[in-house]
Amino acid sequence: MSTIGWVIYNGNLPSSKFVDFARMLQEAAHRQNGELHIYKNNDLLSFLVSNEFKILKNTPESLPDYVIFIDKDIYLARQLESLGIPVFNSSRAIEISDDKILTYQELVKEEIPIPSTIIAPKIFSTGTIEKNMLTQVIEQLGLPLVIKEAFGSFGEQVYLVHSEAELREKVEQLQGKPFLFQSFLKSSFGRDLRLQVVGNHVVAAMKRTSEQDFRANVTSGGKMENYSPTTEEKVLAIRAAKAIGADFAGVDILFGPDDSRYVCEVNSNAHIRNLFDCTGINAADYIVRHILRQIK
What residues pair up with 197 in beta bridges, in sequence order? 202, 249
Rounded Cα distance between 95 and 157, Å, is: 18
Is the Cβ–Cβ distance between 68 and 7 less than 8 Å? Answer: yes
Binder among 79, 103, 153, 196 for ligand ADP (CB under 6 A)? 153
* Maximum separation of any 2 CA atoms in the chain, in Å: 65
Q: In angstroms, give the least distance from the CB of 65 to ligand ADP.
A: 32
Sort 147 into a burial class: Cβ within 10 Å, 0-12 / 13-18 / 19+. buried
CB closer to Mg ion out of 247 and 252:
252
Quote the least distance from Cβ 252 to Mg ion, whole Å: 4
Contacting residue, 229, 265, 283, 287, with ligand ADP by CB under 6 A: 265
Q: In whole angstroms, give the CA distance from residue 293 to residue 219.
A: 34
Contacts with 43 (C-beta within 8 Å, 6 or more apart), sequence order: 11, 57, 58
Residue ranges in 8-67 that form contacts with Mg ion under rule CB under 5 A: none
Q: Assess contact for 68 and 5: CB atoms under 8 A.
A: yes
Among 120, 185, 205, 270, binds ligand ADP (CB under 6 A): 185
Residue 252 contacts ligand ADP per CB under 6 A: yes
Which residue stretch of 48-56, 60-68, 183-191, 243-251 sits at the interface with ligand ADP (rule: CB under 6 A)?
183-191
Q: Contact letters (x/-) for Mg ion, 253-282, by CB under 5 A? A: ------------x-----------------
Q: In the window 194-253, what residues touch Mg ion (CB under 5 A)? A: 252
106 binds ligand ADP (CB under 6 A): no
152 binds, among Mg ion, ligand ADP, none (CB under 5 to 8 A by kind): ligand ADP
Question: Does 146 sit near ligand ADP (CB under 6 A)?
Answer: yes
Q: Strands (DSSP E) along the chain, which ranges?
A: 4-9, 35-40, 45-49, 52-56, 66-69, 87-88, 117-119, 145-149, 158-161, 179-183, 191-198, 201-209, 223-226, 248-255, 261-267
Of positions 10, 90, 217, 274, contacts ligand ADP by CB under 6 A: 217
Spatial contact of 273 and 24, defined as CB atoms under 8 Å apart = yes
Out of 182, 196, 269, 274, the residue judged to bind ligand ADP by CB under 6 A: 182
Binding site for ligand ADP (CB under 6 A): 115, 146, 148, 152-155, 157-158, 182, 184-185, 188, 192, 214-217, 252, 254, 264-265
